[in-house]
Amino acid sequence: MVTLLHTTPKPGKARPRHPEKRGNPDAPILRKPSWIRVKAPGSPVYNETRKIMRDHGLHTVCEEAGCPNIGECWSKKHATMMIMGDTCTRACAFCNVRTGLPGPLDAEEPENVARAVAKLGLNHVVITSVDRDDLADGGAAHFAQVIAATRKLSPGTTIEVLTPDFLRKDGAIETVADAKPDVFNHNLETVPSLYLSIRPGARYFHSLRLLQMVKERDASMFTKSGIMVGLGETRHEILQVMDDLRAAQVDFLTIGQYLQPTRKHAPVKSFVTPDEFKAYGRMAYGKGFLLVSASPLTRSSYHAGDDFARLRAARAASLSD
């Protein structure tokens, strides 16, 4: 059962970003190791990217989720569009996106996304969204409209979608897949044993089935999924997730370090070393993934354009063997 979060702030008071977490005990935020340090954003191109987003009235997951790579990515005009508003109907313990009851969809958003993509000059764009459990189709038709508008204005741009799980939204997965994105990404986020505490509104095997359904709908479409580490999962559990994803014929796996947004969010249980990430990458390739990105700062859309080129090359090489 998915619970919609509806909070109404008192007059004159700002709406809390995570009202459902206010009662959580404070969890200490551990000092980050040296391999996770990043440069502060602020280059001229970063500011130009930010202005383009504001001029088109768009949200980005880069800002809303507090991505550590925003300085690097935006300095290359690589922004990940977050459609359907800035408020999510879920309350995942790891996520910094605002929670609550969202407003209506913006009918002009598909065109605004398309114009921003063209203005940025993107060769590859990642489009994600908040969860919209309040909508009959979970926002699937809106996703399709954004894809179509972007294709029309930038026909040479490849499109990657990172979707919610569309739990109990019959036909939603098919609607998005039929819009023909080049990559269909849906993140498992964590191992099954942690779903109740980390991703309580989702179901592990439903997310797996979503990825499998995309392949059944279009075997040629690239599929992608990612998990975070450092939440208390075991090595055996990570390897089992890899096996589950390969059974669903997922092509591309991302693995990155979980970073705690605030003291009210799930605590970091461990910082996984770069050598451990490399080992996970080797094991994932050994299980048959076409492409693996495993590093402390790996995120779903980090270097997505370069990775897509590598993904296509890996498939071409596998077919020629």
Tens digit of each residue's pLDDT (9 = 90 or more) over 116-136? 999 999 999 999 999 999 999
Dist CA 58 CA 41 (whole Å): 19
Helices (H), 183-296: 195-198, 204-217, 235-247, 274-286
% of the chain residues with pLDDT over 70: 96
Does the pLDDT of residue 192 top 90, yes or no?
A: yes
For residue 16, the model assigns a pLDDT of: 79
Dist CA 216 CA 111 (whole Å): 30
Q: How confident is the model at residue 8 (pLDDT cuts 50, 70, 90)?
A: very low
Does the pLDDT of residue 4 top 70, yes or no?
A: no
Token couple for 283: 């094991």
Dist CA 69 CA 298 (whole Å): 9
Dist CA 52 CA 125 (whole Å): 15
Does the pLDDT of residue 142 top 90, yes or no?
A: yes
Dist CA 68 CA 89 (whole Å): 24
Q: How confident is the model at residue 41 (pLDDT cuts 50, 70, 90)?
A: confident
Q: How confident is the model at residue 114 (pLDDT cuts 50, 70, 90)?
A: very high
Dist CA 285 CA 283 (whole Å): 5
DSSP bridge partners of 224: 185, 252
Q: How confident is the model at residue 197 (pLDDT cuts 50, 70, 90)?
A: very high
Residue 273, Ramachandran bin (φ over 0: left; ψ between -120 and 50: alpha; else beta): beta
Does the pLDDT of residue 231 top 50, yes or no?
A: yes
Does the pLDDT of residue 14 top 90, yes or no?
A: no
Residue with tokens 């109907």: 89
Parallel, antiparallel or unpaired: strands 252-257 and 222-229: parallel
Dist CA 223 CA 46 (whole Å): 30
For residue 7, the model assigns a pLDDT of: 46
Strands (E), 91-245: 98-99, 124-129, 158-162, 183-185, 222-229
* CA-closest candidate to residue 86, choices 61, 66, 111, 121: 61
Dist CA 126 CA 100 (whole Å): 24
Query: Could you give the dihedral angle defined by the CA atoms of residues 16, 19, 24 and 26, in that order, rounded to the nearest 10 degrees?
Result: -10
% of the chain residues with pLDDT over 90: 89
Dist CA 132 CA 223 (whole Å): 22
Q: How many residues does the chain have?
A: 321
What's the mean pLDDT when you consider all of the chain?
94
The whole model's pTM is what?
0.94
Q: For the chain, what percentages of helix, strand and coil (3-state, to nearest 5) are there?
A: 40, 15, 50
Average pLDDT of span 168-183:
98
Widest CA span in the chain? 66
For residue 289, the model assigns a pLDDT of: 98
Q: How confident is the model at residue 42 (pLDDT cuts 50, 70, 90)?
A: confident
List, in order, residues 6 or more apart from 80 with CB less than 8 Å away.
Answer: 60, 61, 62, 73, 125, 126, 127, 128, 162, 301, 304
Token couple for 219: 């075997």
CA 68, 71, 74, 76 dihedral sign is: negative
Q: Look at 2-11, 45-54, 135-144, 252-261 and tell me which has the smallest mean pLDDT.
A: 2-11
